[in-house]
């Protein structure tokens, strides 16, 4: 993936951005990502399994996340969950998208489209 550019990945879909935000706090598996996105957005964004894994596949292919393997804990038995984590490039892309969204909100505030506040 030589010559990767952050700009090639933004803007991105709301769902994809929320997956990156969920992974910004640390490695997680699919179910926890779906739960985090639903909770973080108060249910406004609810990812189906198919949608999540479509996004994961794209993020893996683009080098924004990587899959980690971990040993199951005693209570999980033999079940192995796939953990995903941001790559440094993925964190850079997520940060750039967050900054782009922040600029949009700042412009909307300046135009009195939404009320102020931090």
* Mutual angle of helices 14-24 and 88-110, in 10-degree steps: 120
Edge-to-edge strand ranges of the sheet holding 82-86: 28-29, 82-86, 65-69
Domain ranges of the chain: 10-110
Tokens of 71: 């040993």
- Per-residue pLDDT in tens (0 to 9) along the chain, 118 residues: 557 899 999 999 999 999 999 999 999 999 999 999 999 999 999 999 999 999 999 999 999 999 997 655 655 555 678 999 999 999 999 999 999 999 999 999 999 999 876 5
Cα–Cα distance, 115 to 11 (Å, whole number): 24
How much is the pLDDT for 80? 72
Class of domain 10-110 (CATH, top level): mainly alpha
How much is the pLDDT for 62? 96
Q: How many CB atoms lie within 10 A of CB 62?
A: 17
How much is the pLDDT for 42? 94
């Amino acid at each position: 993936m030589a010559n990767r550019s952050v700009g090639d990945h933004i803007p991105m879909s709301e769902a994809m951005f929320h997956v990156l935000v969920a992974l910004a706090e640390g490695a997680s598996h699919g179910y926890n990502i779906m739960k985090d996105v639903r909770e973080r957005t108060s249910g406004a964004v609810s990812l189906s399994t198919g949608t999540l894994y479509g996004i994961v596949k794209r993020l893996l292919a683009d080098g924004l996340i990587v899959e980690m393997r971990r040993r199951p804990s005693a209570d999980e038995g033999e079940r192995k969950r796939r953990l995903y984590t941001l790559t440094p490039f993925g964190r850079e892309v997520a940060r750039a998208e967050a900054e782009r969204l922040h600029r949009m909100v700042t412009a909307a505030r300046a135009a009195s489209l939404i009320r102020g506040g931090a």
